[in-house]
């Protein structure tokens, strides 16, 4: 499965099980997990954009240039949130073995790849 290979390369681990796919009121979530490493991809429709912005914007959040119409990196939560006109994408990567700068770069790269497919 290409998505699994992208997720594994981004997270820096191998996922033995298929991702948990979950539909939500305003979108969908796909979560990969293995040996303390978690990679979560969320896609929210137009109705979920403001909720995502509120949830992830806090002191310490940093804007991300050249990604969507609006994007931010939240170092505490280790996620990147990206808004487009009709949807928002969130990529969260938790891997205690990787330095924060590596996690940030990989999360942004994956967000860019996901945006290219939507």
For 15-28, the pLDDT digits (tens) are 555 555 556 667 77
User: Cα separation of 55 and 5, whole Å?
Assistant: 29
What pTM, to 2 d.p., does this model score?
0.78
Amino acid 65: pLDDT = 94
Q: Are 57 and 49 in contact (CB under 8 A)?
A: no
Q: In this predicted model, what pLDDT tens digit does every residue of 30-81 receive, in sequence order?
A: 777 777 788 887 888 888 778 778 888 877 899 999 999 999 999 999 999 9
User: Cα separation of 48 and 27, whole Å?
Assistant: 7
Amino acid 40: pLDDT = 82
Amino acid 17: pLDDT = 56
Amino acid 56: pLDDT = 82
| Sequence-distant (≥ 6) Cβ neighbours of residue 5 within 8 angstroms | none
Please give the average per-residue pLDDT across 94-116, as a whole number. Answer: 89
User: Cα separation of 74 and 56, whole Å?
Assistant: 7
Helix 100-117 with 2-11: angle, nearest 10 deg: 160
Amino acid 2: pLDDT = 45
CA angle 93, 95, 101 (to 5 degrees): 75
């Amino acid at each position: 499965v290409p998505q699994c290979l992208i997720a594994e390369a981004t997270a820096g681990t191998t996922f033995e099980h298929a991702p948990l796919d979950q539909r939500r009121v305003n979108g969908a979530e796909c979560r990969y997990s293995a040996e303390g490493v978690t990679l979560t991809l969320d896609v929210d429709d137009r109705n979920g954009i403001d909720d995502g912005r509120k949830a992830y914007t806090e002191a310490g959040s940093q804007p991300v240039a050249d990604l969507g119409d609006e994007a931010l990196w939240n170092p505490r939560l280790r996620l990147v949130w990206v808004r487009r006109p009709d949807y928002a994408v969130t990529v969260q990567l938790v891997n205690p073995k990787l330095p924060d700068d590596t996690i940030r770069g990989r999360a942004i790269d994956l967000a860019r790849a996901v945006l290219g497919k939507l």
